[in-house]
Chains A and B, each alone.
Chain A
Amino acid sequence: MIDYVAKGRMLIIWVVLVAAIVYLGAVPFLPVSSAFIFYMMFWITMASSFNIIYGFTGYLPFGYVAFYGLGTYVTAVFWSRLGFPIPAAILIAGGAGVLLSLIFAPTLRLRGIYFAIVNFSCAMALRILIANLPEKWAGGSFGITLSAAYKPRFSYYCMFILMIVTIFIVWKLSISRLGIALRCIRDDYEAAEAMGIDVSMCRLKAWMLAALIPSIAGGIEAWHTAIIDPDTSFSMMITTKSIVYAMFGGLGTITGPIVGAVFMYILDDLIWARFPILNLMVLGIFIVALVLFFPRGIVGSITRWKPTLRAVLA
C-alpha cells in the first residue's frame, strides 16, 4: 500500500524547499531588504556548519569565530594587498581556514570543557596576532576597507550558494558512512574504535569541514560589508550566535540549525527594534526560556513529540 501521508509530507517539504530557493534567489530584485536576507543566510550557514562539529562529534569549539575571522582577513589581505580577485581571495580564505584547523588539530585530543577553553584561547591568540601585525599588512586596529570591491548583488548570490552547499553537505554527511562513524564516536568513542572506526581521522575530517565553511562565509561577509577590523572579525557574538541558533533549532539534525537561525534571527531583529536599550537583556531572557522549555531545540522537541516526523525533519 502506498503511504499517502508520507508522500504528502515529502511533497510539502519539496514545495517549501523550492519556494524558499526561488524566493531567496529573487530577493535582490524584490522590494525587500537584501542585507536582512543576506545575514539570515549567513547565520543559517554558520549554524549548520557549527552543527557539523558539535552536533555530529560533540566537540564544542568556543573559538569557532577564529575560522570566520581568519576568512575575513585572508580575503581582505589577498584582495587589497596582493591584488587577487575577490572570488579567488575567498577560496584562498577557505584553504586558510582548513590550514588553521590542522594547526588546531592537536587540541582534538582534549574533551568537553577543556577543548572548549583551549579552542577559545586559540581564537583569542589569533585575534591578538592579527591585530598586532604591521598596519600595511593587516590594517592594525583600523582594519581594511573593501569598498572598491563592493558588489552587494554578487556577494548575496555567493552567500546563497554557500548556504545551499552547506545544507547539502550536512544532509550528505547525515546519511554517509562518515556521519554514522561520527555519531558513534560522539556516543562512545571507545566502542567505535573497537569496531575499527578510525576515530582520529573521522574527527579530523569533520573538524576540517567545519572550519572550511565559516572561513568562506567570513570572506563573503567581508566582501558584503566592505570593511573589517579585529573587533568585529573576532567578536565572541559570532561564536555565541552560531551556538545559540544551532542549539535552539536542534543539534544533530539537518533542519534544526536552519529553523533555529531563521527564527532566532527574526526574533533578534524584532527585539532590537522594540527594545533599543534593553535588547540584549530581553534576548537573554528569551534564550533562557527557550533552553528551559525546549532543551532539545525546536526540531528536536517536535521529533520527540511526533517521531514519525523524524523522516522529514531530521
Chain B
Amino acid sequence: MALLEARGIDVSYYGDIIVLNDASIFIEEGQVTAIIGPNGAGKSTLLKALYGLLKPKKGEIFYRNENITGARTYELIGKGMAYIPQARSVFPDLTVEENLKLGAWIFKRDRSRVSHALEVVYKRFPVLASKRNDKAGMLSGGQQKMLEIGRGLITEPKVYLLDEPTATLAPIIAREIYSFVADLRDEGMTVVLVDQNIRQAFEMSDYIYVLELGTNKASGSRKDFAGGLKGIIQDWLDYDTV
C-alpha cells in the first residue's frame, strides 16, 4: 500500500503557467523516494502540492488511501506529514527554541507535548540544545538546516518531504545532512527527497522518479536505474543545449 500517492495531477501558477502536467508519484511506506530532474521539471512544485501548499487543478492525492486533494497544510501536518522548503525558512530574529516551538504550532497550547517534543529534537541534535537561546540568524548555514530538519521532526511525522536539503551547503556539511536522512530511513521513516545532487540522491534512495517538464519521464527502483543514470543526465545536457 502506498503511504502517499499523487494520481495524474496538474498544477499551475497564476492560472496559466503550467508546471505539473499529469504527474504521478507512488510513495511506499518506509522507503526513501527520490525525485530528480533538470531545472524547471516541477520537482519542488510536486512536493508543495503533496504538502497542500498548492492545489492541483486536476488529479487526486491520497494519504493512506484517504483522498487529501485540496486539504490544508495544517490538516496534513496533523496526519503525519512534514516538509522543508528549498529556501531558508528559519525565522532569524527568533531563538532556536522559539523556532522549534513554531514547528509544534499544531499542538496549540499542549505544553507538556511541546516540551517532550523539544527534548526529543534536542537529543537528536545536541548542537541545537546548546544554542537553544541563540537567535536562529546567528547559526551557521548547516546548523540552520539542522534546525529546519529538527523543526519538521517535532511533530513526529510519518513522511518527511525534503526539498533540496543540501543546496548551498559546504560538501562536508551536506554529508552530515545526508547521514541524518539515512538515520531517518533506518528508523523506518518515509522520506521524499528532491535533490540536485543526483548521485547522492540515487545512493540514498530505494525508488526514483525522474521528472521532465512537469511530467513523469521514468521511474524505477535503484536497481532498475543502475548503469542507466548516465544516459538520463546526458539527455538533460543535450536538451539544455538545444
Which residues of chain A have a CB within 8 Å of any CB of chain B?
Answer: 177, 180-181, 184, 187-188, 190-191, 193-198
Contacts and interface: CB of A to CB of B under 8 A. Distances in A.
A191 B91 contact: yes
A191 B74 contact: no
15 contacts: A177-B109, A184-B91, A190-B85, A190-B87, A191-B91, A193-B73, A194-B83, A194-B84, A195-B77, A195-B102, A195-B105, A196-B77, A196-B78, A196-B106, A198-B72
Contact of A196 (B73, B84, B93, B109): B73
B51 interface: yes
A180 B87 CA distance: 21
B40 to A, nearest CB: 19
A197 B103 CA distance: 10
Contacts of A188: 89, 91
Given A177-B108, A195-B102, A196-B106, 15 more contacts: A177-B109, A184-B91, A187-B93, A190-B89, A191-B90, A194-B73, A194-B83, A194-B84, A194-B85, A194-B89, A196-B73, A196-B77, A197-B74, A198-B72, A198-B74
Interface in B156-184: none
Interface in B11-56: 51, 53
B151 interface: yes
Nearest to B74: A196
Contacts of A177: 108-109
A115 B93 CA distance: 26
A52 B53 CA distance: 26
Contacts of B102: 180, 184, 195
Contacts of A180: 102
Contact of A191 (B85, B93, B108): B85
Contacts of B83: 194
A191 B106 CA distance: 14
Interface in B79-116: 83-85, 87, 89-91, 93, 102-103, 105-106, 108-109
Main secondary structure of the interface of A (DSSP, over half): helix
Contacts of B72: 198
B91 A187 contact: yes
A188 B99 CA distance: 13
Contacts of A187: 91, 93
B15 to A, nearest CB: 13
Nearest to B52: A193
Nearest to B93: A187
A177 B93 CA distance: 17
Nearest to B102: A195
Nearest to B78: A196
A181 B73 CA distance: 15
Contacts of B108: 177
Contacts of A197: 74, 105
Task: Name the 9 nearest CB pairs between A and B, nearest first.
Answer: A191-B89, A196-B74, A196-B77, A196-B106, A196-B105, A195-B105, A195-B102, A194-B83, A196-B73
A197 B53 CA distance: 11
B50 to A, nearest CB: 12
A198 B51 CA distance: 14
Contact of A195 (B87, B93, B103, B109): B103
A194 B53 contact: yes
Most buried by A among B53, B87, B89, B108: B89
Nearest to A190: B85
Interface string B199-225: 000000000000000000000000000
A180 B91 CA distance: 12
A193 B77 contact: no
B164 to A, nearest CB: 14
B48 to A, nearest CB: 9
A187 B135 CA distance: 15
A197 B89 CA distance: 14
Contacts of B91: 184, 187-188, 191
A184 B51 CA distance: 19
A196 B101 CA distance: 12
Most buried by B among A181, A184, A193, A194: A194
A225 B201 CA distance: 71
Contacts of A195: 77, 102-103, 105, 151
